[in-house]
Amino acid sequence: MSLQTYLPQAPLSDYVHLLWYWKDYHPPHPRERILPGGMMEIVINLTAEPFQITYPQAGTQTQRISGAMAAGARSQHFLIDTTRPATLLAVWFKPGGALPFFGVPAADLHNLHLPLETLWGTAAKDLYEQLLEAPSPAACFRILEGALLRRLLAGAERHRAVEYALALLRRQPQPQRIAAIVDEIALSPTRFIQLFRDDVGFAPKLFCRIQRFQQALRLAAHDPTRSWADVALTCGYYDQSHFINDFQAFAGIPPGAYVPQSRDHPSNLPVFD
């Protein structure tokens, strides 16, 4: 298996965190638990097998999607099948960055996976065929970057109030800051929440909870000897009980069962049973 990443140039860099290409992804575990990260994605399977995604919250319902897939911002975990080798190409959007590319409010895609063709029409199929013929990962990055740039130039602009709020909440994802932000941007709380949900995928308070949860995952993955009590305190939870409840809600497991695939992939958990 080999992973390659690519950082797009401006103006895409304002919206896209990175592109990545993983050839022959085939880990030793048969499934992975993917924890919510608060951002939207495009994932393209360049092998014949479809994505197989299971949602424990929906009674282990499994969804199969072939080719290119759009993933909405998530507040729930899900499971992916990893029993077959797959070559994957993906776009990780920054929080609030996907709106110009998908053409629908981000809130409409919350906790959803769907074929990219549902949003892009025949353009998704044309892109997929070009990527299948690309001779190298670098060529895939160029093709995908060009497609994204064309959609950005034709897409909707993000609301400035949401951009301002995201800049503050990414640095300090504390729900108590939201009221102060609303006072600064001169919008009613109801209007601000509506705009935030349309651009980001969920309400500001839930966004903060997920960002704080992700901060805790990064701390734990980079230092497995660190106590969960210290992680909770560092990330601004009221107490350890508050932290455990949030962790269980997002991960579906208690903190003590958390074993990430690696320190660089704290949201991917191997599943062997």
Over residues 129-169, the pLDDT tens digits come to 999 999 999 999 999 999 999 999 887 788 899 999 998 88
Short-list 32, 140, 47, CA closest to 85: 47
DSSP β-ladder status, 41-45 and 113-115: unpaired
pLDDT band at 1 (very low <50, low <70, confident <90, very high): low
Q: What are the tens digits of pLDDT across the range 82-108?
A: 999 999 999 999 999 999 999 999 999
Same domain for 133 and 13: yes
Domain stops at, among 102, 129, 154: 154
Q: How many other CB atoms are there within 10 angstroms of residue 45's CB atom?
A: 20
262 contacts: CB under 8 Å, gap ≥ 6: 221, 268
What's the whole-number mean pLDDT along residues 252-260?
A: 96
DSSP letter for each residue of 80-119:
EE-SS-EEEEEEEEPTT-SHHHHSS-GGGGTT-EEEHHHH
- Could you tell me which residue, 171 or 212, shows the higher pLDDT? 212
Picking from 154, 178, 206, the residue at the C-terminal end of a domain is 154
How far is CA 7 from each of CA 40, 74, 168, rounded to the nearest angstrom? 16, 23, 23
User: What distance in Å separates the CA atoms of residue 136 and residue 139, rounded to the nearest whole number?
Assistant: 5
Tell me if 106 sits within 8 A of 198, measured CB to CB.
yes
What one-character-per-residue DSSP string does 192-232 give?
A: HHHHHHHHHSS-HHHHHHHHHHHHHHHHHHH-TTS-HHHHH
Q: For residue 222, what are the CA distances in angstroms to 126, 225, 265?
A: 40, 9, 10
* pLDDT at residue number 186: 84
Q: How many domains are there within the chain?
A: 2
Do both 62 and 100 map to the same domain? yes
| Residue 227: domain span | 160-271
At 194 the pLDDT is 95
- My answer on whether 149 and 165 are in the same domain is no
pTM of the model: 0.93
**Do 150 and 191 have their domain in common?**
no
Last residue within a domain, chosen from 154, 176, 200: 154
Residues 173-192, mean pLDDT to the nearest whole number: 87
